[in-house]
């Protein structure tokens, strides 16, 4: 066995194979023009709807307007929801088309595949966030005290979390019908309890306890921190770390569900 062959056959993560896989996923996306258009434009249009909804609602002096508060939060929720859905369907396709089984017979490690998806959709989410944040702050006049770059960073972290949970959820779906129904199961409870509808400290104790273990809560808190503070706060960095940690945990669990040998 040659040294090159030994190196190729290791089961550890390879940056080269991860990048090749991310490139492949992005090329698949590139052929799907409508999906690209929807990814880039849809969140801005929905945000516009919210802007028009609250345009004429008066704001109490010294408080953030409803749109500033909700719009900012939505910048973190859109990428999470969209990437969760896109990834769970993409991974399910990989399973049902036989390409997953084939990939598992090649030198590609399971984590290479998952990280490749994370990288590809993370990049897609970054483009989406740049468009959405750009339009929100210029056209809709969304007021953010902190750095716009931090808003984009948090949006990308949320997207990667969505990707990781989508990869994990797809393991439990046999059909597309099942896969799309994991969206309400995984996403809606997190949305209800994330602190946007009711601030977390005003929830019942047991609801707070649940909210505190759901990663989206931290994503929303991070955005709220950027919303009021001109500089990055320690709380915000902790929140971002929690979101990233949850994404890594979900990826590890997803890797464990990818069985090379099946019955």
Binding track over 108-137 against other proteins, x by CB under 8 A: x-----------------------------
Supply 35's token pair. Answer: 């999906």
User: Residue written as tokens 């004429």?
Assistant: 56
Q: Please name which of 50, 62, 69 lies closest in space to residue 139, comparing C-alpha atoms.
A: 50
Rule CB under 8 A: say whether 263 interacts with other proteins. yes
Residue number, 28 or 59, with CB nearest to other proteins:
28
Q: Check: CB of residue 140 under 8 Å from CB of residue 51.
A: yes
| 202 near other proteins, rule: CB under 8 A | no
Minimal distance, residue 125 CB to other proteins, in Å: 20
Neighbours of 57 (CB within 10 A): 9
257 binds other proteins (CB under 8 A): no
Number of residues that bind other proteins (CB under 8 A): 33
Distance, CA of 117 to CA of 128 (rounded, Å)? 16
Residue from the set 58, 98, 199, 205 that interacts with other proteins by CB under 8 A: 98
Which residues ranging from 235 to 254 are in contact with other proteins (CB under 8 A)? none
Query: Which C-beta is closer to other proteins: that of 101 or that of 172?
Result: 101
Q: Binding pattern to other proteins, positions 5-34, x when CB under 8 A?
A: xx-xxxx----xx--xx-xx--xx--xx--
Q: Which of 15, 37, 46, 97 binds other proteins (CB under 8 A)?
A: 97
Angle between helices 66-96 and 33-54 (to 10 degrees): 160
Angle at the Cα of 136 from the Cα atoms of 130 and 139, rounded to 5 degrees: 120
Q: Is 144 helix (H, G, I), strand (E, B) or coil?
A: coil
The tokens 């464990």 sit on which residue?
256
- Indicate the helix (H) or strand (E) that contains 229: none
DSSP string, 10-46: --S--HHHHHHHHHHHHHHHHT-HHHHHHHHHHHHHH
Query: Quick one: which of 36, 48, 107, 198 contacts other proteins (CB under 8 A)?
Result: 107
DSSP single-letter state for residue 59: -
Is residue 103 part of the contact set for other proteins (CB under 8 A)?
Answer: yes
Site for other proteins contains 89 (CB under 8 A) = no
Which residues lie near other proteins (CB under 8 A)? 1, 4-6, 8-11, 16-17, 20-21, 23-24, 27-28, 31-32, 97-99, 101-108, 260-263
């Amino acid at each position: 066995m040659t040294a090159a062959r030994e190196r190729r056959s290791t089961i550890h993560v390879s940056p080269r194979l991860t990048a090749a896989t991310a490139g492949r996923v992005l090329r698949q996306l590139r052929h799907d023009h409508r999906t690209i258009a929807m990814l880039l434009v849809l969140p801005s249009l929905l945000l516009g709807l919210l802007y028009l909804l609250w345009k004429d609602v008066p704001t109490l002096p010294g408080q953030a307007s409803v749109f500033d508060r909700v719009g900012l939060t939505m910048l973190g929720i859109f990428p999470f929801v969209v990437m969760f859905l896109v990834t769970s369907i993409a991974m399910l396709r990989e399973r049902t088309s036989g390409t997953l089984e084939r990939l598992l017979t090649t030198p590609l490690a399971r984590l290479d595949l998952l990280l490749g998806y994370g990288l590809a959709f993370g990049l897609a989410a970054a483009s989406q966030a740049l468009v959405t944040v750009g339009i929100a702050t210029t056209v809709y006049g969304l007021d953010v005290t902190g750095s716009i770059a931090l808003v984009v960073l948090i949006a990308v972290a949320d997207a990667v979390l969505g990707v990781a949970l989508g990869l994990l959820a797809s393991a439990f779906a046999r059909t597309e019908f099942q896969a799309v129904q994991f969206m309400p199961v995984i996403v809606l409870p997190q949305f209800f309890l994330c602190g946007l509808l009711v601030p977390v400290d005003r929830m019942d104790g047991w609801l707070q306890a649940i909210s505190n273990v759901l990663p989206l809560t931290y994503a929303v808190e991070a955005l709220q921190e950027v919303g009021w503070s001109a500089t990055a706060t320690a709380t915000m960095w902790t929140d971002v770390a929690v979101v990233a940690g949850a994404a890594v945990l979900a990826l590890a669990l997803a890797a464990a569900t990818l069985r090379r040998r099946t019955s």
